[in-house]
Structure formats: C-alpha cells, structure tokens
Amino acid sequence: MKLSFGPEYEAFRGEVQRFIEKNRALSPKAGAGVAAGPASEKLRDWQRLLIENGYAARTIPKEYGGFGAEPDILKAVIIDEEFNAGGVSRGIGGQGPQMLVPTLLEAGSEEQKRRWIPPTLDGEIVWCQGYSEPGSGSDLASVTTRGVEDGNDFLISGQKIWTTTAAESHMMFGLIRTEPEASKHAGLSYILIPMDTPGIDVRPLGTMTGDAEFNEVFFDNARVPQANVVGDRGAGWKIANTTLLHERNMLASSAVLGGAFLAVTQVLERETVCGERLMDCGVMRDRLGKLQSRTLAMKFHSMRMLTARLKGESPGVAGLVTKLAGCELSHQLTGLAIDALGELGVLYEGSEFERNRGRWQHQHMFTLGLIIGGGTAQIQKNIISERGLGMPREPKPAAS
C-alpha cells in the first residue's frame, strides 16, 4: 500500500497550484458552470485558458478543441483536488462536456465529432439529456417517444421528463424509438436534437425543494435530420448505457461527502441549545461519529476504486456500490444538520432565523432526488445482486 502519488505527480501538483495562484482573479465563482446553463463570457474565457493549459478537456484530441493529453487518471485526480481546494471554477461542466462528448468520441462519426465537440467544450452549445419519460423510469428501454421516418428526416413526437437545463439548452441528446418493428432494446436511436426545432415545447417541472431543477419536454412532429443519429439506427440503447456510467460516477463523489461532513461538524460546533454546544450533547456527537465512520469508509473506498482503474483491473462487486452508499450518506449528513438545528432546521424560503440560506433542507430533499435519480436505489440493488453476486433476474411474468 502506497498512498503518495510519487515525485513526478507531486511536481505536476505544484504546476497546478501555481497556475491557480497566478490566475485566480480570472476565475468565475467556483461551482458556476457545473450546473451548465448558458455560459457567461467570463466563464468561456476561463474555459479557454483551462483548455490551453490542459486543466479542462484534457484528454480530448486537439482537432476537436481539447488539450490532447494522454489519459492519466492521477493527473485528473490532482487537477480535481487542487481546483476544489483552491476554490476556483472547474470551467464549463454539465451534461454536454461530461456525458455527450465522451459518447461522441466513442460512437460519433468524424463529422459529428468535428461539428459538435468544439462548440460544446467552448460553452457555445449547451446540452440537455432526453432519456426518461413519464412511462419509462427504471425501465428506461421502454421509451415510446417515436421518430417516424420522413424523407431524410425523423418526425419526433412524445414526451421526455427530468430534463435538467432544457430551457437553457441549445441541443438535446435523446433516446428515440425509430424502429418500431424491432425488439424493445434494438428499436432505439441516439439522436441529437436542436431545441429550437418547431414542435418542441419545454415546461419547467417544480420539485419538492421549491425549485424547478428539471423540465418536461414535449415533441409534436419535430423535424430532425437522420444525419443527427449517433452510431447506427437502433444502436441507441448500447450507446446511452456508456453515458449512464459517466453519470453515476458524477453523482456520488467522496470529495463532496467529505465537504458535507465538515460542514455538519461545524453546525454541531457552532450551534447551541440552552447555552450548550450541540457537540457537547453525547447523542448528537455519537450520530456525527457514526457518519464520520461512513464518510471515511467512502473516502478510502474511492481510493481503492481509483487504484483498480489505474491498474486496469475490474473492482468487482465493490465498484457497483458507490452510488447506492454515497447518495444515502449524503442524505443522512444533511438530515443530521437539520436535526442539530431542531425547530430552526425547518425554516425555509429566506425566513427570519434561517441557517445557511435554507441549504440544509434544500440539500436534504435534493439528495433524496439523487437516491432516486440516475437509477433508483432499488435498481442499484438489482445491479449489485445480479452483476455483482451472480443472482438471477426476476423471471418475466407469464404472458396472459
């Protein structure tokens, strides 16, 4: 077991730190751009600077607007750590750079790569994901939004839901049923859809947090060229699954968990009840200790998973539990902060005496959304038991 990164990488870390110190003033607020939305000029300038220096789009080939470095997981980890620690923006994030670009690199045509990747990295084009439908959640392959062939185009009709940033997006990458005769999984195509196409209607979807983090997108004979299909017609399920893997890894980061744990610790240290610090209350302290154990376990777990990736080994069943365990822990951490605040923990919407701008409640609800989104906890348990433990699938009900 060796936990240092070695001299070559520590030198690289020094370079990153010097870059951040020198250019800190140019950075937009950290976190801006990760939730996507239209990129500001400042963010786009920052993004260009990051790409030039290899701190964004690091492994994307130069001809598509990236930095063109060889993949190196440790350097990627160091960049993440230092940008987080330095409190500067990671540049343009969201579903375009993080989900669509890797997919195009894997499955797109040369023309599609050249046309879509550079403006996506540059923040000129913002993307949303069109997978889930009202009738297709856990059973994603059952999507019914259809694309009917019409000359060189498809006419798309149907409805998508849970679409983040749909209102701000220029483009959608979506799963559309284009081969109605084919089997469930072989009938889908992965299509790039301009959001300004006539026949597309975006409506915000309010959630329990009080925000509208998602949208519904309605399609009524929206005309999209067949040339916008990525990969082969009917290959959409396979292509979408490569992207989902990227998403699940985004949802449960151990660095985020560590930050949340520290923030909860501060709540217990600062808040007092009847003049006594909550940290001096044994019951609350014990709950914090329990979650500290779990936070540490997830930290070392992510180091173990990183090591497996570095060695090109499969982490086995251990690699399948991150989303389930991590999202649950996030929810419990925010729950403890709320309990520590007691009656005041329920204050919201900018109320008098509210703490942390209501973020604890907001995050407590939002993390419940994360437990459900990106594959529900129950679907994760199916995946763990079937792929990880070799247990059989639930048999299909006999046809009636």
User: Would you name the residues annotated as active-site residues?
Assistant: 247
Q: Which stretch binds another protein (CB under 8 A): 87-95, 175-183, 222-230, 278-286?
A: 278-286
Among 282, 312, 350, 397, binds another protein (CB under 8 A): 282
Interface positions, 72-91, toward another protein (CB under 8 A): 74, 77
* Binds another protein (CB under 8 A): choice among 7, 312, 395, 397: 395
- Please, are residues 361 and 345 in contact by the beta-carbon 8 Å criterion? yes
Q: Per rule CB under 8 A, is residue 391 in the interface with another protein?
A: yes
In this complex, which beta carbon is closest to another protein, that of residue 148 or of residue 325?
A: 325
**Exposed, middle or buried by CB within 10 Å (0-12, 13-18, 19+), for 342?**
exposed
Q: Which of 40, 109, 241, 378 binds another protein (CB under 8 A)?
A: 378
Determine if 7 is a binding residue for another protein (CB under 8 A): no
Interface with another protein, residue 253, by CB under 8 A: no
Query: Closest separation between CB of residue 60 and another protein, Å?
Result: 24
Choose which of 146, 238, 246, 285 interacts with another protein (CB under 8 A).
Answer: 285
User: CB neighbours of 56 closer than 8 A, spacing ≥ 6?
Assistant: 47, 50, 67, 90, 91, 92, 97, 121
Nearer to another protein, 30 or 296 (CB): 296
**Least separation, in Å, of the C-beta of 288 and another protein?**
8
Which residue reads 């089997």 in tokens?
183
Q: How far is the CB of 32 from another protein (least distance, A)?
A: 30
Closer residue to another protein, CB minimum distance, 125 or 321:
321
Q: How far is the CB of 320 from another protein (least distance, A)?
A: 8
One-character DSSP codes across 320-364: GSHHHHHHHHHHHHHHHHHHHHGGGGG--TT-TT-SGGGHHHHHH
Stretch that binds another protein, among 108-116, 183-191, 238-246, 282-290 (CB under 8 A): 282-290
Q: Is 253 exposed, middle or buried (0-12, 13-18, 19+ CB in 10 A)?
A: middle
Dihedral sign (CA 26, 30, 34, 37): negative
- By the 8 A CB rule, do 105 and 29 touch? no
Stretches 22-30, 99-107, 162-170, 277-285: which one binds another protein (CB under 8 A)? 277-285
**Does 53 engage in binding with another protein (CB under 8 A)?**
no
Q: Which is nearer to another protein, 297 or 344 (CB)?
A: 297
136-195 residues near another protein, rule: CB under 8 A: none
Q: Report the residue number, 215 or 367, with the smaller CB distance to another protein.
A: 367
State the number of binding residues for another protein (CB under 8 A): 54
Question: For the CA atoms of 204, 208, 211, 213, what is the dihedral angle to 10 degrees?
Answer: -60
Which of residues 52, 300, 346, 351 is near another protein by CB under 8 A?
Answer: 300
Q: Contacts with another protein in 305-324 (CB under 8 A)?
A: 306-308, 310-311, 317-318, 320-321, 324
**169: region left, alpha or beta (phi > 0 left; psi from -120 to 50 alpha):** beta
Question: C-beta of 276: minimal distance to another protein in Å?
Answer: 9
Structural contact between residues 279 and 285, judged by C-beta atoms closer than 8 angstroms = yes
Task: Report the alpha-carbon distance of residue 193 to residue 37 in Å, rounded.
Answer: 17
Residues in contact with 103: Cβ distance below 8 Å, sequence separation at least 6, in sequence order = 173, 190, 230, 239, 242, 243
Q: Give the nearer residue to another protein in terms of CB position, either 2 or 22.
A: 2
What is the distance, to the nearest Å, from the Cα of residue 232 to the centroid of all Cα atoms in its chain? Answer: 26
The pairs formed by 362-368 with CB atoms below 8 angstroms and a separation of 24 or more are 362/209, 362/210, 362/211, 363/260, 363/330, 363/334, 364/331, 364/334, 364/335, 364/337, 364/338, 365/207, 365/208, 365/209, 366/209, 366/213, 367/327, 367/330, 367/331, 367/334, 368/208, 368/331
385 binds another protein (CB under 8 A): yes
Does 294 help bind another protein (rule: CB under 8 A)?
Answer: yes
Q: Which residues sit at the interface with another protein, rule CB under 8 A?
A: 1-6, 74, 77, 269, 277, 279-280, 282, 285-286, 288-290, 292-294, 296-298, 300-301, 303-304, 306-308, 310-311, 317-318, 320-321, 324-325, 378, 380-382, 384-386, 388-395
